[in-house]
Chains A and B, each alone.
Chain A
Amino acid sequence: MMQEAALFEYILRLSDDSLILGQRLGEWCGHGPILEEDIAITNIALDLIGQAISLYDFAATLEGQGRNHDQLAYLRYENEYKNALLVEQPNGDFAMTIVRQFFFDAFRLPLWEALMQSPIEQIAAIAAKSVKETRYHLKHSSEWVVRLGDGTEESHQRAQDAIDHLWRYTNELFYENAHDHSLHAAGLVPKLEIIQAKWNQTVKDILAEATLSVPAHNWKFEGGREGRHSEHMGYILSDLQYMQRAYPNMEW
Chain B
Amino acid sequence: MTQAEQERHFNDKIAREIKIEPNDWMPDEYRQTLVRQISQHAHSEIVGMLPEGNWITRAPNLRRKAVLLAKVQDEAGHGLYLYSAVETLGTDREQTIDDLHSGKAKYSSIFNYPALTWADIGAIGWLVDGAAIMNQVALCRTSYGPYARAMVKICKEESFHQRQGYESLIKLCNGTPQQKAMAQDAMNRFWWPALMMFGPSDADSTHSDQSIKWKIKRFTNDELRQSFVDATVPQAEILGLTIPDPNLKWNEERGHYDFSEINWDEFWQVVKGNGPCNKERLEARIKAKEDGLWVREAANAFAKKRALKKTA
Asked whether the complex places CB atoms of A and B closer than 8 A, the reply is: yes
B59 within 8 A of A: yes
Contact code string B11-50 (vs A, CB < 8 Å = 1, else 0): 0000000000000000000000000000000000010011
Q: Which residues of A contact B176 (CB under 8 A)?
A: 247, 250
Kindly specify which of B70-78, B217-225, B259-267 makes contact with the partner chain: B70-78
Instruction: Evaluate contact between A243 and B77: CB separation under 8 angstroms.
Output: no
Q: Which residues of B contact A219 (CB under 8 A)?
A: none
Q: A206–B66 Cα gap in the complex (Å)?
A: 31
Which residues, 18 to 73 on A, are CB-close (under 8 Å) to B?
19, 23, 26-27, 29-39, 42-43, 45-46, 49-50, 52-53, 56, 69-70, 73
The number of residue pairs between A and B whose CB atoms lie closer than 8 Å in the complex comes to: 142
The number of chain B residues with a CB under 8 A from chain A is 48
Instruction: Evaluate contact between B69 and A31: CB separation under 8 angstroms.
Output: no
Instruction: Evaluate contact between A155 and B80: CB separation under 8 angstroms.
Output: no
Chain A binding surface SS class: helix
Closest to A19 in B: B62
Q: Which residues of B contact A244 (CB under 8 A)?
A: 60-61
B301: which of A37, A151, A242, A250 is its contact (CB, 8 Å)? A151
B189 within 8 A of A: no
B302: which of A33, A50, A151, A239 is its contact (CB, 8 Å)? A151
Closest to A247 in B: B178
A179 within 8 A of B: no
Q: Which residues of B contact A39 (CB under 8 A)?
A: 73, 76-77, 80
Instruction: Evaluate contact between A243 and B118: CB separation under 8 angstroms.
Output: yes
A4 within 8 A of B: no
Kindly specify which of B128-136, B206-214, B292-300 makes contact with the partner chain: B292-300
Q: Which residues of A contact B178 (CB under 8 A)?
A: 247, 250
Q: A148–B305 Cα gap in the complex (Å)?
A: 12
Which residues, 50 to 85 on B, are CB-close (under 8 Å) to A?
50, 53, 56-66, 69-70, 72-73, 76-77, 79-80, 83
Q: Which residues of B contact A150 (CB under 8 A)?
A: 302, 305
Q: Chain B's nearest CB lies how many Å from the CB of A62?
A: 18
Contact A26-B297, Cβ < 8 Å, known A42-B76, A251-B171 = no
Instruction: Evaluate contact between B79 and A35: CB separation under 8 angstroms.
Output: yes
Q: Which residues of A contact B143 (CB under 8 A)?
A: none
Closest to A235 in B: B57
Q: A23–B68 Cα gap in the complex (Å)?
A: 12
Q: Which residues of B contact A74 (CB under 8 A)?
A: 60-61
B288 within 8 A of A: yes
Contact A50-B64, Cβ < 8 Å, known A26-B56, A94-B292, A151-B297 = no
Instruction: Evaluate contact between A29 and B49: CB separation under 8 angstroms.
Output: yes
Q: A155–B300 Cα gap in the complex (Å)?
A: 11
A93 within 8 A of B: yes
Instruction: Evaluate contact between A43 and B298: CB separation under 8 angstroms.
Output: no
B287 within 8 A of A: yes
A77 within 8 A of B: no
A240 within 8 A of B: yes
Q: Which residues of B contact A69 (CB under 8 A)?
A: 62
The number of chain A residues with a CB under 8 A from chain B is 49
Contact A31-B299, Cβ < 8 Å, known A46-B66, A70-B62, A244-B60 = no
Q: Which residues of B contact A49 (CB under 8 A)?
A: 62, 65-66, 69
B116 within 8 A of A: no
B248 within 8 A of A: no
Q: A158–B47 Cα gap in the complex (Å)?
A: 28
A152 within 8 A of B: yes
Q: Chain B's nearest CB lies how many Å from the CB of A140?
A: 13
Which residues, 210 to 248 on A, are CB-close (under 8 Å) to B?
236, 239-240, 242-244, 247
Q: Chain A's nearest CB lies how many Å from the CB of B290?
A: 10
Instruction: Evaluate contact between B72 and A50: CB separation under 8 angstroms.
Output: no
9 smallest beta-carbon distances between A and B, as pairs? A33-B292, A151-B298, A155-B298, A243-B60, A30-B53, A30-B49, A252-B60, A33-B295, A42-B73
Q: A26-B57, A240-B58, A252-B60 are in contact. List 13 more A-B contacts (CB 8 A).
A: A26-B56, A33-B295, A34-B296, A39-B76, A46-B69, A46-B73, A70-B62, A94-B295, A148-B298, A240-B57, A243-B58, A243-B118, A250-B178
Sample of 20 A–B contacts (CB below 8 Å): A26-B56, A27-B57, A29-B53, A29-B69, A29-B72, A30-B50, A31-B288, A32-B288, A34-B292, A39-B80, A45-B69, A50-B66, A56-B62, A148-B295, A148-B298, A150-B305, A151-B298, A243-B58, A247-B60, A252-B172
